[in-house]
Amino acid sequence: MKTLIKNAQCVLPEGTTRTNILIEGSTIADIDPAASITADEVIDATGLHLLPGVIDDQVHFRDPGLTHKEDIHTGSLASARGGVTTFLDMPNVNPAMTTCELLERRLELAASKAVVNYGFYIGATPDNIDELKKARRTPGIKIFIGSSTGNLLVDGQDSLERIFAETTLPICAHCEDEKTVRENAERLGGGKSFADHSRIRDHEAALIATRRAVDLSTRHRHPFHVLHVSTAAEVEFLKSAPDWVTSEVCPHHLYFSVEDYDRLGSLVQMNPSVKNREDCEALWKALAEGDIDVVATDHAPHLLEEKDKPYPQSPSGVPAVENLLALMLDGVSRGRLTLDRLVRTMSENPARIWNMKGKGSIAVGHDADLVLVDQQKPHPVRNEDQITRAGWSPWHGVDLMGSPVRTLIMGRTVYANGRLDRTPHGQEVLFDRGG
C-alpha cells in the first residue's frame, strides 16, 4: 500500500518546507517525490502542517487493575484523536508492574488493545534490582522518589544508590521529597482544602527531590529524566545539570496555578501540585528557550465521582492525552513557543531520550507515525466530547486554537474527519540498546 501526502508544510529535522511525503507500508519511503507519482491513496494536505506523531512519554492508562478509570483501548483511542502516535505508560497499575513477567504480560495485553504504539516502564521497588537489571523490552526504569497514586516508593538512600549504580536502562523519576511532604501534611493536619495540596507538596519538596536525583545521576553518570518539573527553582537548578540529565513539563503545570483551586478544586489536584503563576511563566520560558526537553501529559484519569471526594480523600491526577497537541498548538498560536520547538519537545527529544527505533522525526526509513494539524482550526474542549473513560477535562469550556485533523499510525489513518478506527493495530516500540 502506497500513500502520498501532498502539499503539506512538513516539519522536517532540517526545517519546515512545503513538500510531498510518500509512505510505503508502515514506513516513510520518500520525501519530496514528484507529485505525479502513483499511489493507492492520495491525501491533499494543502493548508495543513505535517508533524511527526507525538510521543507522550508519561501516561497512566490504568491497565490492568484500575480499568474503571481507563484502559489501554480507551487511552490509546484518546491518544489517536489527539495526534499522539506512541505512549509510554507508567507502572503504578494493579499489580504494580515491577517484574519482567508482569512486563511481558502487559505487552501482550497491549498487543490486543492498543490503537497506537506503546511501551511500558518497569517500576523500581527497594528490592527488585535483579528484575531491573534483566528487563529488556522497556524504555527504562521509573522510580517514585516520592509517593503518589499507588504504593510504589523508593526513598531510601541505599536502594537509590544501588539502582543508579547497578542498572543500565535510562531512569526517570517522580521527584517530590517524601519526608518534606509528610512533615507538611502533619503540620497542616492532613490538609483541609484543595489549596492545602500545594502547601503539602510544596516548592521545597519538588526541589529537594530533584536535586537528590540529579546528584545520584551525576555521580553514577546514569542517563536520567526528571518527570513533570513544576517550579522555577527546579528549572534554574537543572541548567547546571550534566547533559545526560533531561527534563519534562506537563501542560497542567504550564496552564494552571494555585489561583485555579477556587474555580476548579480537585480538578487541578495532581502530583506534583500546581504552583504559582510565576512558576508557570518560568516553565513556558524554559520550554521556549530549550531548557526543558520534553512536553508530556502525565495523563492520570480518575472518575469525577472519585474527584468529588473532599480533600485529602480526592485522588491526584488529571486526564490530558487527547488535548496535549492542541494545548501546545494553542501555545504556538499565542507566541509561547515555535512549532519547531513543539516538534523537538513532543517527538524528536522523547524518541532520542528513550532510544526509540524509527520514531520521532519525518525521515526516510522511519515509521510513518504522522499527524496533520490545522493551525487555524479551533479545538473546543468539552467534557461530553472526551474519549478518556474519565469523561472530563480540566480545560472544559476552553476553545484552543489549532487542532490535529488526521493521525497516521505506521502508515494507516487511524483518525480523520472526526472519525476513529478503533481496531487495535498499535505496535510495540523497539529500543536501541547499542547492540
Residues ≥6 apart with Cβ < 8 Å to 347: 51, 52, 53, 54, 55, 359, 360, 361
Q: How many CA atoms does the CB half-sphere of 313 hold within 13 Å?
A: 6
- Please, what is the minimum distance in Å from the beta carbon of residue 93 to ligand DOR? 9
- Using the minimum distance from each CB to ligand DOR, give the nearer residue, 299 or 359: 299
Q: Which three cell numbers stand for residue 330?
A: 494553542
- Asked if 163 contacts 129 with a C-beta cutoff of 8 angstroms, the reply is yes
Of 137, 57, 144, nearest to 96 by C-alpha is 144
Q: Is 316 in the site for ligand DOR (CB under 6 A)?
A: yes
- φ and ψ at residue 36, rounded to 5 degrees: -85, -5
- Please, what is the minimum distance in Å from the beta carbon of residue 193 to ligand DOR? 17
- Using the minimum distance from each CB to ligand DOR, give the nearer residue, 300 or 362: 300
Of 121, 77, 170, 85, nearest to 361 by C-alpha is 85
Q: Is 361 in the site for ligand DOR (CB under 6 A)?
A: no
Q: Is 300 in the site for ligand DOR (CB under 6 A)?
A: yes
Binding-site size for ligand DOR (CB under 6 A) equals 11
Largest CA distance in the chain: 71
Q: Is 60 in the site for ligand DOR (CB under 6 A)?
A: yes
- Using the minimum distance from each CB to ligand DOR, give the nearer residue, 226 or 368: 226
Residue in 71, 155, 196, 298 annotated catalytic: 298
DSSP state of 380: E
Q: Is 76 in the site for ligand DOR (CB under 6 A)?
A: no
Q: State how far the alpha carbon of 28 is from the alpha carbons of 31, 117, 172, 259, 412, in Å.
A: 8, 16, 30, 46, 12
Q: Which residue is nearest to ligand DOR (CB)?
A: 317
CB burial string 369-408: b at 16+ within 10 A, e below? bbbbbbbebebebeeeebbbbbebbbbeebebbbbbbbbb
- Using the minimum distance from each CB to ligand DOR, give the nearer residue, 212 or 366: 212
- Site map (CB under 6 A) of ligand DOR, residues 142-181, x = contact: ------xx------------------------x-------
Tell me whether residue 57 is one of the annotated catalytic residues: no
- Site map (CB under 6 A) of ligand DOR, residues 248-277, x = contact: ----------------------xx------
- Using the minimum distance from each CB to ligand DOR, give the nearer residue, 317 or 411: 317
Q: Is 344 in the site for ligand DOR (CB under 6 A)?
A: no
Q: Which residue of 119, 317, 319, 394 would you call a contact of ligand DOR, by CB under 6 A? A: 317
- Using the minimum distance from each CB to ligand DOR, give the nearer residue, 57 or 374: 57
Of 79, 163, 101, 88, nearest to 126 by C-alpha is 163
Catalytic residues: 298
In the complex, the residues that contact ligand DOR under the rule CB under 6 A are: 60, 92, 148-149, 174, 270-271, 298, 300, 316-317
